[in-house]
Amino acid sequence: MNKLEDLKNQINQIMEENKPAVVLNSDADKTIRELEKEITSSGLKSNFEIRLSDLAPEKAELKLAGGQFTYTDYSLSWKHIGDENFRLILTNLPHKNAKILLKTPLQFKEAITELLPVFSEKLANQFK
């Protein structure tokens, strides 16, 4: 190999090693980030949690994102988790499994973004 090919291979290797694990550029990701930014800029640092079925009672018995669990089996919250600042958190209640909403699979994020306006309204009303 010549030096130019070596350099190209090294650059490609560095880019591969440093690429982000998840690209968060879907419409759902943008919507979630916008709401997190809005809540953060309001200075709210209090926990708030609500079942998804309370945000959309008509979906209570439907499976979330085609999974095994219903909307009743999940909650959405604004809280501090791990080393993170306050974030939007999706929790599977039967398994007590909490994940940062942005880090959940796309089909979950898309289903949840439909509920974010109601979540935002209930959050605002809670802390008036």
Give pLDDT, residue 128: 72
Give pLDDT, residue 21: 58
Give pLDDT, residue 5: 83
Predicted confidence (pLDDT) per residue in 32-44, tens digit: 999 999 999 999 8
Predicted confidence (pLDDT) per residue in 46-100, tens digit: 999 999 999 999 999 999 999 999 999 999 999 988 777 899 999 999 999 999 9
More confident residue, 59 or 5: 59
Q: Are 70 and 63 in contact (CB under 8 A)?
A: yes
Largest Cα–Cα distance in the chain?
67
Q: Exposure string (b/e) for 60-95, b if CB count within 10 Å is 16 or more? A: eeeebbeeeeebbbbbbbbbeeeeeebbbbbbbeee
Q: How far apart are CA 125 and CA 112, in angstroms?
A: 20
Q: What are the residue boundaries of the structural domains of the chain, listed by start?
A: 24-126
